[in-house]
Structure 1
Amino acid sequence: MVSPGLCSLCRSNQTPDKKLFTNTWIAGKERVPLSYLIYRWVLTILTFLFFSESFFTRVIQDSDWRYWLYLATWSRLLALLHYTLDSLLVTARLRREFKGQVELSLSENYGSSGENYASSSSPLPPLYRTLWILANINCTVSLVSSLVYWPFFYQVGVHPLDMQNLSGHAVITLINLIDIFISDRPWRLLHAFHSQLFCLVYALTNFAYIEEEGTAIYSSNYMYSILDWSDPTQCLLTVLGLSVLIPVIHLFFFILYKFRCLLTRLGRRQDQCKLEIELHKIQLRDRRIQQQDKP
């Protein structure tokens, strides 16, 4: 359990309560609201439609099997896996709660500071750890895809602003940004290495494909011009640049998370004030009744 006397850094390193991954802070309740479950499945359906539409267009219609090596494709897959697992875990929790199995908060001071300090002495279950990793990578990679595509690759009149283009380079990023302010999932600065490792795997996969002359039939020796492996220096600079950019992007999401914690603290203070006002009104009413009853 988390001691109230611990510093913020120590509290941040505690294992978070798994309930934080399957509820919204907006509800302010131990139970999961049905609206939150609907919200999670809407995101899952949207990401499934984004992936299906792009797969049908690029692979089925155009027979472009390089589709699997585009960063936007990996971003769509990450979003689909993230939100599907999230929806399943929320669904499982809501089913347990319908059966009367409601877990109480594991930390007495949770909510007093507005931050996600609820902690457990036991490690997170594997599915929740997987969800945490997927969420970290999904948010970072989607924003990297947007930041790299629009200034370096998009050409007006050449690339249409259709659903396939927008879903992989804008819409998923927007969904992830909105979801930070709705979910109750915590963020950790040290988790930036999740996305760094993922992007390293992507770069190595891209390199292996190019070395096997995988793009020969498309008359190009690279997937992205900034990852032209015939120029090793440029590629190494690109990989190193992304290695530096990713922690900055992760820090950006962490700042948004801290801002959400501030909103949580303000919202709960308002709820506390409303509760105190209602209690005060009840006390005044009881006093009036007592005075009227006196002979």
Structure 2
Amino acid sequence: MADAETGREGCKECCSKEFQVSNFLLEYDKPHHFVEFQCGKQTPYLVWRVIWTVYHVIWIIITGVYSWQWAGPDPNQQVKWFIYLTDWCYFMLTLSTVLDLGAVIYARAKRSDICQGIASTIPWYFRCNWVIFNVANTCSVTVSLLYWGLLYSSSETMTAVNIETHALNAVYVIINLLVTGMPVRVLHFWHSVVYALVYVLFSLFYTIAGGTNHIDKNYVYSVLDWKGTPGFTTGISIAVIFVAMPLVHCVCFGIYRLRRVTCCYGDGHVVHNKETELAYKDNPSYTAD
């Protein structure tokens, strides 16, 4: 039985809700969760979003500026920053923090009905933010696991950029999942699956077109050698896309459920019904976009 004050639910009730067809899409009736901590604080959450946006924007710039550490002095090799999954995922993580901040600022400036918990429909820009959030979380953790499990060599020089993009990125994702009010849906696993599929297809066509990595090998990663070991590459690609990505997304969902169960805050403090929302729209200052 659900606890209305804490948001706690039994396993059976949780599963029945999570596997509804509507949860495959981007429907959510508590948009105020996108602009606050799970425990309901909004102003500190704005500060949290500013800090992490600045942090990730600075770091993604650093990853480009210091590309000489792995690509050497040749600008033609340094520009290959754009072919690596690590950088694709860190870009999505940075974009997610920027969109998170933008959503919070816009809601506080233009959508007080969201901040007050009156609105019960999620606007389109929150939906876009939600997709990027899901992709960034799953891909960041997955790419860190793949790096340490498949690519890392003890002979490799460990740099600050390596640590940031293959370890601290995942640490941030876990911490943020534990405190943000943003929801995670099991059935949203397909967001990261599509993203991973796009990258795998990119690596395939890049290799077929004669593209090389920063040391002029005819592949992006040694485990994605489409010309040398096509069978193995196909197998590892399928495993990552259709097994690893969904599993990591489920871990993210587990962290979300842990947060919901342990948090001291529920939705009892907000007015949350369709009639109130419609009445609020009669206010001349209301804008829904």
TM-score normalised to the size of structure 2? 0.77
Match 2:32 to one of 5, 8, 19: 19
CA distance in 2, matches of 1:11, 1:217: 47
Distance 1:205 1:49, change over 3 A: same
Is 1:74 the counterpart of 2:88 in the alignment?
yes
Within 2, Cα distance between the matches of 1:216 and 1:148? 18
Q: Note if 1:205 corresponds to 2:202.
A: yes
Within 2, Cα distance between the matches of 1:241 and 1:229?
15
Verify the 8 A CA contact 1:210 1:221 in the aligned structure 2: yes
Q: Which residue number in structure 2 is paired with residue 176 of structure 1?
A: 173
Q: Structure 1 residues 217, 78: CA separation in 2 closer, same or farther (over 3 Å shift)?
A: closer
1:89 is aligned, of 96, 103, 114, to 103
8 Å contact 2:35–2:104 — kept in the other structure? yes
Name the % identity: 24
Aligned equivalents of 2:196, 2:260: Cα separation in 1: 29
Cα distance between partner residues in 1 of 2:123 and 2:64: 33
State the one-letter code of the partner of 2:182: R
Task: Give matches, 1:112-131, under 5 Å.
Answer: 120=120, 122=121, 124-131=122-129
Once the two structures are TM-superposed, the CA of residue 218 in structure 1 deviates from its matched residue by: 3.4
Contact 2:38 2:182 in 1 (8 A): no
2:221 is matched by which residue type in structure 1?
A: Y
- What SS does structure 2 have at the residue aligned with 1:19? helix
Provide the C-alpha distance between the structure 1 equivalents of 2:167 and 2:157, rounded to a whole number of angstroms: 14
1:189 aligned residue: 186
Q: Distance in 2 between matches of 1:225 and 1:94?
A: 47
Measure the CA separation in 2 of the matches of 1:56 and 1:22.
Answer: 33
What is the CA-CA distance between 1:104 and the residue it aligns to? 3.8
The Cα RMSD (Å) is 2.7
Is residue 213–residue 219 contact of structure 2 (8 Å, CA) maintained in 1?
no
**5+ residue gaps in structure 1?**
107-118, 273-295
* Aligned position for 2:45: 36
Q: How many Å separate the matches in 2 of 1:40 and 1:103?
A: 15
Q: How many angstroms does 1:144 deviate by?
A: 1.1
Q: Distance in 2 between matches of 1:216 and 1:169?
A: 19
Unpaired stretches in structure 2, ≥5 consecutive residues? 5-12, 270-289
What's the counterpart of residue 117 of structure 2? 105
CA contact (8 A) 1:96 1:102 kept: no
Q: Which structure has the greater CA radius of gyration? A: 1
The answer as to 2:250 corresponding to 1:237 is no
Structure 2 distance, partners of 1:210, 1:8, is 44
Shift of 1:61: 5.2
Structure 2 Cα separation of the partners of residues 248 and 216 of structure 1:
29
Work out the number of aligned pairs and report it. Answer: 244
Q: Which whole-Å CA distance do the structure 2 matches of 1:234 and 1:176 have between them?
A: 30
Tell me which residue corresponds to 1:275.
Answer: none
The structure-2 alpha-carbon separation of the partners of 1:126 and 1:61, relative to structure 1 and needing over 3 Å to count, comes to farther
- Matched with 2:276 is none
> What secondary structure does 2:67 align onto?
helix
Output aligned runs, 1:135-146, within 5 Å. Answer: 135-146=133-144
Q: Secondary structure at the match of 2:179?
A: coil
The structural deviation recorded for 1:72 is: 0.9
Report what 1:280 is aligned to. none
Alpha-carbon distance, 1:156 to partner: 2.1
Q: Distance in 1 between matches of 2:73 and 2:178?
A: 38
Measure, in 1, the Cα distance between the counterparts of 2:213 and 2:106: 48
Counterpart for residue 132 of structure 1: 130
Equivalent position of 2:10 in the other structure: none
TM-score (normalised: structure 1): 0.75
Q: How far apart in 1 are the matches of 2:209 and 2:188?
A: 33
Conserved 8 A contact 1:50-1:76: no
Q: Is the 8 A contact 2:135 2:195 kept in 1?
A: yes
1:159 alignment partner in structure 2: 157
